[in-house]
């Protein structure tokens, strides 16, 4: 058992370390992705603005030159092609009054017809640019930024339309290369971050593991130191019980009080030690065994019926369906015992406490339910979220009289969470309570039906 517990503790810390590492890595990856997207977007936007400004400048120069040429010609003369040439990255087309294109500059003569088709689809707009992609089957793809504006002479006569464009293929290629390299470096950085993060997390876990081991040693020592004197006290009280007839009335009353206080103290110590030893998500994996749920429920009913009889209460088993359950039987028994004990304590005399179990399918998942229902004092709705807190008591004075430590429901919650389940509370003040234990059918809790 100690070897199993030690392995579970090591596994638990490894899981915590792994979860912390991956959590930090996910946060880092999200930050890197957002950073790359932000940098890429800002870079692309500023490059776009720079290219647009450059192209608009070229367009304005072309318009100015066309107007100057028109002013030097007669009214019936055509605008001659200018001699000045731009860099081969630009193209400049002039659509004259006869709806014919005059080529001033072009990036590549082989794209003339493709470019003219694109230009005819553009509606000239002042200070506005268009991004167009040309993808001929037998040529390289061009990514063009195009600006267009109609040209009028000094008398406001229409001369034609100037189309200025720029090939952004090389710029777009560089942006893509930058983004690719950036993401590649990000991936490498993530692997490095995972490696060093794992090392740092393991180092950070060392003092926690050391502290946990010290706590476990303290629990073992405290277990021995507390249980031994309590056992001695129990033995002494048992001896006095044998001689009870010789005691005075006051002595008998004192002996009864001592028995109750000792029982409450032993129960408190047991619960505290259980909480200290409890490894959430690990306890359910230890001592898994098969048992019949109907026999299990009958044993609980018989075990608690004697105590219930003191208040003339009846514990009723509503289901006798027979099937085999495979899980940690002791944990499940302690879980149900907590609710049955509370039902007896907080129900009035001559009441019935019912136990029921069944399997239900919800959203393609099978669940095992175990319900403990009473007709007791009930729990106010605003207090139902607090009852699972450690040492919480709804009625402080009454709870102490009933021997309630305020730890039972906290233990129940921890056990049910170790099985990946939940506790459903339905209660109304003054009318009783229903506690449903809901556990998913899984490797931690298996069911073999029909014996």
What is residue 356's predicted lDDT score, i.e. its pLDDT? 93
Rounded mean pLDDT, 21-25: 83
Show the tokens assigned to 46.
Answer: 């500023």
Quote the CA–CA distance of 274 and 149 in Å, as a whole number. 84
Burial of 381 (0-12, 13-18, 19+ CB in 10 A): exposed
Residue 403 pLDDT more than 70? Answer: no
Contact 301, 317 (CB under 8 A): yes
183 Cβ neighbours under 8 A, 6+ residues apart: 36
Q: How many CA atoms lie within 13 A of 44 on its CB side?
A: 13
Sign of torsion over alpha carbons 428, 434, 435, 436: negative
pLDDT in tens, 143-202: 889 999 998 888 888 888 888 888 888 888 888 898 889 889 888 888 888 888 888 888
Kindly tell me if the per-residue pLDDT of 280 is higher than 50: no
Q: DSSP letter at 92?
A: E
Q: What are phi and psi of 137, to 5 degrees?
A: -65, -35
Under 8 Å CB-to-CB from 211, ≥6 apart: which residues?
Answer: none
DSSP letter for 82, please.
Answer: P
Comparing 231 with 401, the larger pLDDT belongs to: 231
| Confidence (pLDDT) at 5 | 46
Q: How confident is the model at residue 399 (pLDDT cuts 50, 70, 90)?
A: very low
Q: Enumerate residues 6+ apart whose C-beta is below 8 A from 422.
A: 416, 438
CB under 8 A, 24+ apart: contacts of 418-424: 418/278, 418/279, 418/280, 418/281, 418/282, 418/283, 418/284, 418/331, 418/444, 419/284, 419/327, 419/331, 419/444, 419/445, 420/444, 421/445, 423/388
Phi and psi for 323 in degrees, rounded to 5? -155, 160
Report the share of the chain in percent with pLDDT over 90: 10
Which residues sit opposite 432 in a β-bridge? 428
Question: Of residues 415 and 213, which shows the higher confidence score?
Answer: 415
Q: What is the mean pLDDT of residues 387-397?
A: 63
Give DSSP secondary structure letters for 419-436: TT-EEEEEEETTTEEEEE
Whether the predicted model's global pTM rises above the 0.85 cut: no
**What is the tens place of the pLDDT at every residue in 41-85?**
898 899 989 989 988 888 888 888 888 887 776 555 555 455 445
Higher pLDDT, 313 or 278: 313
Q: How confident is the model at residue 277 (pLDDT cuts 50, 70, 90)?
A: low
Q: Which residue spans within 43-190 are E strands per DSSP?
A: 90-96, 101-105, 129-134, 142-152, 158-167
């Amino acid at each position: 058992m100690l070897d199993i517990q030690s392995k579970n503790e090591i596994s638990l810390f490894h899981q915590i370390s792994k979860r912390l590492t991956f959590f930090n890595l996910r946060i880092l990856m999200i930050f890197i992705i957002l950073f790359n997207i932000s940098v890429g977007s800002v870079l692309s936007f500023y490059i776009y603005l720079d290219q647009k400004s450059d192209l608009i400048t070229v367009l304005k120069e072309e318009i100015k030159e066309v107007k100057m040429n028109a002013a030097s010609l007669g009214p019936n003369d055509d605008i001659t092609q200018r001699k000045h040439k731009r860099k081969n990255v630009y193209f400049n087309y002039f659509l004259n009054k006869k709806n014919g294109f005059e080529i001033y500059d072009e990036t590549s003569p082989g794209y003339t017809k493709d470019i003219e088709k694109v230009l005819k689809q553009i509606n000239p707009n002042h200070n506005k640019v268009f991004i167009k992609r040309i993808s001929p089957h037998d040529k390289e793809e061009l990514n063009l930024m195009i600006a267009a504006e109609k040209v009028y002479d000094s008398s406001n006569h229409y001369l034609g339309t100037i189309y200025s464009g720029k090939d952004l293929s090389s710029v777009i290629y560089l942006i893509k290369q930058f983004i690719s390299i950036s993401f590649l470096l990000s991936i490498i950085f993530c692997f490095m971050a995972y490696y060093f993060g794992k090392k740092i997390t393991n180092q950070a876990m060392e003092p926690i593991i050391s502290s946990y081991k010290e706590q476990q040693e303290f629990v073992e020592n405290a277990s021995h130191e507390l249980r031994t004197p309590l056992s001695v006290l129990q033995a002494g009280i048992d001896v006095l019980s044998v001689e009870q007839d010789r005691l005075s009335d006051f002595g008998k009353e004192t002996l009864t009080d001592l028995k109750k206080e000792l029982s409450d103290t032993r129960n408190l110590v047991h619960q505290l030690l259980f909480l200290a030893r409890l490894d959430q998500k690990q306890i359910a994996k230890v001592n898994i065994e098969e048992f019949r749920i109907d026999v299990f429920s009958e044993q609980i009913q018989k075990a608690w019926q004697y105590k219930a009889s003191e208040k003339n209460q009846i514990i009723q088993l509503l289901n006798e369906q027979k099937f085999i359950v495979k899980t940690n039987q002791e944990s499940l028994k302690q879980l149900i015992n907590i609710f049955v004990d509370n039902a007896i304590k907080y129900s009035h005399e001559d009441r019935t406490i019912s136990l029921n179990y069944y399997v239900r399918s919800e959203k393609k998942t099978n669940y095992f339910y175990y319900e403990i229902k009473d007709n007791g004092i009930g729990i106010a709705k605003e207090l139902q979220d607090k009852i699972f807190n450690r040492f919480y008591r709804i009625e402080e004075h009454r709870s102490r009289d009933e021997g309630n430590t305020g730890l039972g429901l906290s233990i129940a919650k921890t056990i049910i969470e170790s099985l990946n389940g939940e506790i459903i509370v339905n209660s109304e003040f003054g009318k009783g309570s229903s506690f449903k234990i809901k556990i998913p059918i899984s490797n931690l809790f298996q069911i073999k039906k029909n014996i």
